Amino acid sequence: MSAMRLTGYADKFGVHPGDTIKFLINCDGPSEYKAEIVQMINGDTNPRGPGFIEKPVPGSLDETFSGRKQIIHSGSYGFVEDCKALRVDSFTLQCWIWPTTPTTHPKYWKHGSQGLVTKWMDGKGYGLFINPDGHVEVRVNGATLTSAVKVRDHAWHFIAATFDAETGDLTLYHEPQIQYALDPVVEPVTTKVSEKISHTPVPAAIAAYGSEITDDPLAQSSLPAGVVFTGKYNGKIDTPRICKVALSRLEIETMKLGAQPGLTERRNSGPTGALSEVIVAAWEFSEGIDTIIAKDCGPYRLDARLVNIPTRGMTGHNWSGTVFDWKQAPKEYGAISFHDDDVDDARWEVDFEWTVPEDCKSRFYAAKLTTADGDEDYIPFWVVPRIGEEQSKIAVMVPTISYMAYANEHVACNAGAAELFVYRVPIMQHQNMFLAEHREYGGSIYDTHTDGTGICFSSRLRPILSIRPKYDHFLAQAPWQYPADLHLIYWLETMGYDYDVFTDEDLTYDGLARIENYNVIITGSHPEHNSGTQLDALHNYTQRGGRLMYMGADAWYWVHSFHPAYDDKGRGVVTEMRRCESGIRTWRADPGEYYHAGTGELGGMWRYRGRYLHSVAGVGMSSEGFDVSRYFSRTPDSNDPRVSWAFEGIEYDENLGNFGLVGGGAAGLELDIVDTTLGSPPHTLTVATSAGRHTEAYLLVMEDFGFNQQGLDGTTHPRVRGDIAYHETPNGGACFSFSSIAYCGSLPWNNCDNNISRLTKNVLDRFAMDGPLPAVPESEIKYRGRADYADVEGPVRLPA
C-alpha cells in the first residue's frame, strides 16, 4: 500500500517558453520508466464528475529512461571541511544545548547517539555527543566519558570537555542552567585516555557526526558529496567553540565571551591575546541569521555550511524576554535549532530535461512517469509567459506558496484528533502512508518535526507527493489545493476560454509587471499563504483598474517569505512561515521566535500585521468545517443594478450550488464573509450567502472570539457562513469573491451546465472585457461608513 517506487521533482515550478526544465527521478526497483509531458485538465477521479483528464502534448518528450535509486539525506547540520587546524592533539569543546529528544525509543526512525560538536567517524577523532540514554558524552577515538545525569529536554545546559594529550586527562562538564530545589550537584567527571587522537578526513560537524566517506552513488546527494553524516541532533545549539588545548574551568568561562577580534589594544571582554591564540573555531550563530553560513569569528575563519536549513532567529541561552525581534538584539538569538527531518534540497542528479517550445501555451503541465509494473507519478509544472509576451487577457494565479505550505503533509497520520476534526475516519492515500514511513521526504508547514517543534520551512526541491492529480486530501476526502484547482482548469477548458497561468513566486519576484497587462486575474481555490510583495502587486493591480475573481476562501491568511539564501538555485526555493499567537494553527512558535530568519519580518497572520484579509478581496476567513458542503442563496443585494448582470439566467429563488464534487455543495470546507469593520470596502455588495445551513462541524475561527463559549458552531453562530460578494475598485476595476473552498468543485457538475458555472461565466465574461467596467449610477457615488454599513451624511445610524 505504501510502496512508491517512482518519485521525482523538477528544478522549477514555472518555466518560460523556450527555456529548459530539468527532472530528477528516484526509480527504486524497476529497471526503466517512461516519461512523457502531458497537459493537466482534471485531476479528480470522482465518478460523479468528468473523471481524470490529461492531454498529450504533441511533439513533446515521450521517452524511456533507465531507472536508478536516489535517496534524500535529511536532517540539518553544519560542517567544515577537514583542515590542519581541526587536527588537534589536545582540545577544549564547549557549547550550550537545548535538546528536544535527548532520548528516543528504539523504534524511533533515527534512534541512537546525537552529535553536538564533532570531528569523529568510525571510532576515530573527537567530539561531544548525547548518547542513546540521554547522557552527554565526550569521545576520543573509541574511548568515551559520560556525564553523571541525563540532560533535560527543552532546557538549557552548558556542556564542555577538555583533553590533555600529554597527561591523558579527559574531563567532561555538564552544567544544567535550570536548578530545581531537589536536584543533585552535577560534578565534572574525569578519566584517563592513553592513546592519541586518530585523525581522518571527515569534516567537523555541528549537530551530527560522520558515518562514512564513500563513492557510493547514493551518497552523492549528501553534502559534501560522498560524505554521509548520521546522529542528527534535535534541539538548539548556541555558540560552540573548539580550542587546541585543555583549558581550565575559568578559561572555559572566559571563552564563552567570544574570540579576540585582533585589535592591538583589547577594548572588549573576552579572551586575552594569549588565550585567544588557542582558539580553533568560535562560531557565532547570532551573526548572519539570514544566511545558511554559521560564521566563525576565530582566527581561521572556519565558517560552517548549514545543510537542510536548520531554523535560525531562535532565542539563545541568554535571551532576556524583553526583545522579540532578533534584528534588535541579535546577541540574544545565538541559537540554531536543528532537526533530524529537516530538508532543503534532495540534491538528486538530473535524469532528463525538456525544452519548452516557443509556441507552447501557458497551461498546467506535468511530467508523467510510468513503469511496466504499474508504477506512476506526476511532476506538475507550469508554463508561464514572459512579461510582455502574454497570450491572453485572462490569467490564473496558481497558489504555489500554499501548495508548498501543505507539501507532504503528515497530519492525517500524526494528528491524534484527526477524526474529531473531520467528523469521519480519515481515509489515507498511498502518499500518506509512504510519507509516514519516509520522514526524509520532509513535512509540511502544518506538521511538527519528529521532536514536536513546528516546521516553518518548506522546499520545492524534493518530491512533493501531495501536489499530484488523483490525490484526495483527508480533510475534504476530495481534491484539495493542486487537484482542486484543476476543477477550475477543467471548467476553463470546457467553456472554451483562453487563459495564461503564472505562479505565486512569479508575482512575488516580478510584482505588478507580471499582471498589469491582464484584464482579469483568477485565483485558485485556496490561496491561503502569501508574501507581502504578492499582496502589494494585487493591491496595485486592482487600484489601477484590474479585475480579480477570488475563487475560493481562506486567502491572504498567513505571512510567508522566500528565504534569500536559496536565490542562487532559482525563484521560490524555500518558503518560511512562523505560526504565532492566533489563527487556525497546528503548532505555535515559542515566545521570541515569531520573526522570519530569512527576511527578518514578523510572521503569523497578515491580520496582525495590519493587512486585514477582507481588504484584498472584500471578504475574509470566518469558519471551517469538513463534513458536508451546503449551498448559497441570493440576497436582495444581488438585484442591485451594479451587480445584477452576474445573475442573468439565474432565478432569484434558485439554490446556488446544491451540488458539487467537494462535500456535495458549493459552500463548504472553509468560508469567508463580508465584514466592513475588518476591511471589506463599505460599498461591498453581499450577493449570496450560506447563512444558517452549516452543521456543528463548522466552527468560528479563533481570531474572531476572545474566549471559548457555547454557540460557536454552524448551527448557531451568525458568522459561520459564506458570503459571495462584489465591489468595485478604482479606475473601472472590480472584485468578485466566491468565498468557499468547495466552490470550484461545483463548476464541473453536469458537464459545467449548472448555475454555479453560469454565475462564474457571467462574471468572467464581464471582467475579461477591454476597457473599464461600466460606470456605476451617480446615486451610488457617496461617502459610506464602516461600522454601521450606512451612509455617513449625518449622525451615525446603528442597525436595529
Count CB neighbours of 786 within 10 A: 15
Secondary structure of 416-444 in HEC code, one letter for each residue? CCHHHHHCCCCCCCHHHHHHHHCHHHCCC
Rounded CA-CA distance 686/769 in Å is 23
Residue 794 confidence (pLDDT): 38
What span, in angstroms and rounded, lies between the C-alpha atoms of 473 and 466?
Answer: 8
pLDDT of res. 392: 97
Amino acid at 246: A
For residue 796, the model assigns a pLDDT of 35
For residues 208 and 240, the answer to whether their CB atoms sit within 8 Å is no
Distance between CA atoms of 126 and 608, rounded to whole angstroms? 48
CA distances 700 to 17, 422, 425, 624, Å, are 45, 15, 22, 7
The Cα–Cα gap between 790 and 241 comes to 66
Rounded distance, CA 153 to CA 158, Å? 13
Model confidence, pTM: 0.95
Per the structure block, which three cell numbers stand in for 548? 480579480
Task: Dump strand ranges (E) for 384-540.
Answer: 394-398, 457-459, 500-503, 520-523, 529-531
- Give the mean pLDDT per block of 10 residues along the chain (800 residues): 85 98 97 98 96 94 96 98 98 98 94 98 98 98 97 97 98 96 95 97 98 97 98 98 97 84 62 86 97 95 98 97 96 98 98 97 98 96 97 97 96 77 82 92 95 97 96 89 97 98 97 98 97 96 97 96 96 96 88 97 94 92 95 97 97 97 97 95 96 95 88 94 97 97 98 98 97 91 76 38
Rounded CA gap, 583 and 573, in Å?
Answer: 25
Q: Specify whether domain 6-71+350-387 bears CATH 2.60.40.1930.
A: yes
How many Å separate Cα 474 from the centre of its chain?
19
pLDDT value of position 286:
97
With beta carbons less than 8 A apart as the criterion, state whether 559 and 603 touch: yes
DSSP string across 582-622: SSS-S--PPTT--B-TTT--B-SBGGGGT--THHHHS-EEE
Q: Of all residues in the chain, what percent are helix, strand and coil, respectively (each to 5)?
A: 15, 30, 55
- Residue 171's contacts (CB-CB under 8 Å, 6 or more residues apart) are 145, 161, 162, 163, 188, 189, 190, 246
Of 454, 443, 436, 224, whose CA–CA distance to 343 is shortest?
Answer: 443
Cell numbers 528544478 correspond to what residue? 11
Domain boundaries, the chain: 6-71+350-387, 77-338
Contact 469, 378 (CB under 8 A): yes
Torsion sign, CA atoms 773, 777, 783, 789: negative
Q: What is the rounded distance in angstroms from the CA atom of residue 280 to the CA atom of residue 91? A: 9
Quick one: cell of 519?
484584464
User: Is residue 22 within 8 Å of residue 350, measured between CB atoms?
Assistant: yes
Q: Which residues of 666-682 are buried (b: 16+ CB within 10 A; e: fewer)?
A: bbbbbbbbbbbebbbbb
Sign of the torsion angle spanned by Cα atoms 379, 742, 553, 653: positive
Phi, psi of 132 (to 5 degrees): -60, -20
How confident is the model at residue 268, as a pLDDT? 64
**Correct CATH for 77-338 of 2.60.120.380, 3.30.499.10, 1.10.730.10, 2.60.120.200:** 2.60.120.200
Q: What is the per-residue pLDDT for 427?
A: 82
Letter for the amino acid at 232? K
How far is the C-alpha of 472 from the C-alpha of 469, rounded, in Å? 9
